[in-house]
Amino acid sequence: MKKLKLEELGRISVDEFKDAEKLPVCIFLDNVRSLHNVGSAFRTADAFRLEKIYLTGITGTPPHREIHKTALGATESVAWDYSESPRKAIQGLKKDGYVIVVVEQTTESKPLHEFQPESQKKYCLVFGNEVNGVSEEVLDQADLALEIPQTGTKHSLNVAVCLGIVAWEVLKKLKL
């Protein structure tokens, strides 16, 4: 076994990424305060070739040194948009036909492993603030809620970790 060099990985260029077919999934960050989590969201969206990232409320936007530090250039490849109002951004996505999926512990949330996305639908995966989770104004507009089953003492995962797990699970079920 040998570690592959960067040139052996066969990655596409930023321009090729922009023109490539994307998974019909976007990421929505609802008042995420950590710029490292924002940068990680960009890197995950690039890795799984997701359509777009929506940054809302207090969520930081590129260009920013702390976002760039974690994104490692993914802010150049992944399309993104900012809206001060999470509610208005969600309303726009609903009008565009996206299924709004909040990743939150609710009275109606389904375990992630039970979720089966449909290939003909578009999905918006919503991740909330590190302390308060998904806001009520967004939760009220959700089509469904998913949660990652946990068996430890903590009640949640870091936003970036959660985002990676959920995005991988959706990619796996839609494409692999």
Helices (H) and strands (E) in the chain, counts: 7, 7
- DSSP letter for 138, please: H
| Residues 45-57, mean pLDDT to the nearest whole number | 98
Q: Which helix (H) or strand (E) segment is 67 a member of?
A: helix 65-71
Starting at the earlier edge strand, list the strands of the sheet with 98-103.
Answer: 79-83, 50-56, 23-30, 122-128, 98-103, 144-147, 110-111
| Distance from C-alpha of 112 to C-alpha of 10, rounded to nearest angstrom | 31
Specify the pLDDT at position 176.
67
Q: Given this model, what pLDDT does residue 38 score?
A: 98
pLDDT value, residue 160 = 97
Give 161's DSSP letter. Answer: H
Fold of the domain built from segment(s) 19-148+155-175: Alpha/beta knot (3.40.1280)
Q: Are 88 and 63 in contact (CB under 8 A)?
A: no
**Integer Cα distance of 94 and 92 in angstroms:** 5
pTM, two decimal places: 0.96
pLDDT single digits (tens) 102-154? 999 999 999 999 999 999 999 999 999 999 999 999 999 999 999 999 999 99
Domain ranges of the chain: 19-148+155-175
The per-residue pLDDT of the chain, averaged, comes to 96
